[in-house]
Chain A
Amino acid sequence: MISNDPGVKSGPGRVLVAVYGVFALAATSRAGVQIATKFSEAPLAYLLSAFAAVVYIVLTVALARGNRGLALAACSVELAGVLIVGTLSIADSQAFPDATVWSDFGSGYGFVPLVLPVIGLFWLLRRRPAS
């Protein structure tokens, strides 16, 4: 694992960090408001909201610091999360009365949450680390 790989955060990576930063901010604010004001209405959805927020924060920091290994792991969790939550939110809408970032595969955010981890993984795996 390379802990500081400048190739991760330069060029297109810089834009990727910006997008992840926006999602970290959006998801954290959303989860914060949901948990602070109406947690009992849908605990599962709101905990998932908070989990998504943590994943986005970890990814933003990992990418910005050039931590390829951590970013890869978080990106995989993000892809799994959006696929699982997206499927569950459609299959069992009772458990998700209020939206999370990942509900309906991120349709509330123009499906960016679904596309983002794919782009992220593509960027991180585009060439193997030199060492």
Chain B
Amino acid sequence: MTAAYSGWVIAAGIVLALIAVIMAVRDRPMGLVLLAGLALLELALLVQAGFALGGLGHVRDKATFIGYLAGTVIIPPAALWWGTAERTRWGPGVIAVAAFTVAVMTGRLLQIWNGAA
């Protein structure tokens, strides 16, 4: 896990959350843009989880670290399932919550990672 890569993941999460908020404000339902964005974010998170697990040896608080790691990977698919069922502006609302949460959790992951380095 590197600060550079995770920094991009955090930025991607925030950008996706902003796009979702804009769509919600403009009263748009879930569309291809959010679906693709969420899929890309999930891919980036899986890669991050791979990096993180590869260097798990130097993390001191392993239980918390793995907890956050699992959360980041589980949240986007869960949000997709829950958000697409709502064909109104509130579908993107769900995606916004999920993308922002993933960004915050990645930030916490980075803190734990650096705290042990």
Which residues on A are within 8 Å of B, measured CB to CB? 10-15, 17-19, 21-22, 25-26, 29-30, 32-33, 36-37
Contacts and interface: CB of A to CB of B under 8 A. Distances in A.
A15 B94 contact: yes
Interface of B: 63-64, 67-68, 70-71, 74-75, 78-79, 82-83, 85-86, 88, 90-91, 93-94, 96-98, 101
Contact of A15 (B68, B74, B75, B90): B90
A19 B95 CA distance: 11
Nearest to B89: A11
Contacts of B82: 14, 17-18, 21
By secondary structure, the A interface counts as helix
Nearest to B98: A18
Contacts of A14: 82-83, 85-86, 90-91, 93-94
12 contacts: A11-B90, A14-B90, A14-B94, A15-B90, A18-B97, A19-B97, A22-B101, A25-B74, A25-B75, A26-B71, A29-B67, A33-B67
Contacts of A25: 71, 74-75
A30 B91 CA distance: 28
Nearest to A25: B71
A33 B64 contact: yes
A14 B83 CA distance: 8
Given A14-B83, A18-B98, A37-B63, A29 B93 contact: no
A40 to B, nearest CB: 16
Contacts of A10: 86, 88, 90
B71 A18 contact: no
Contacts of B78: 21
A29 B109 CA distance: 14
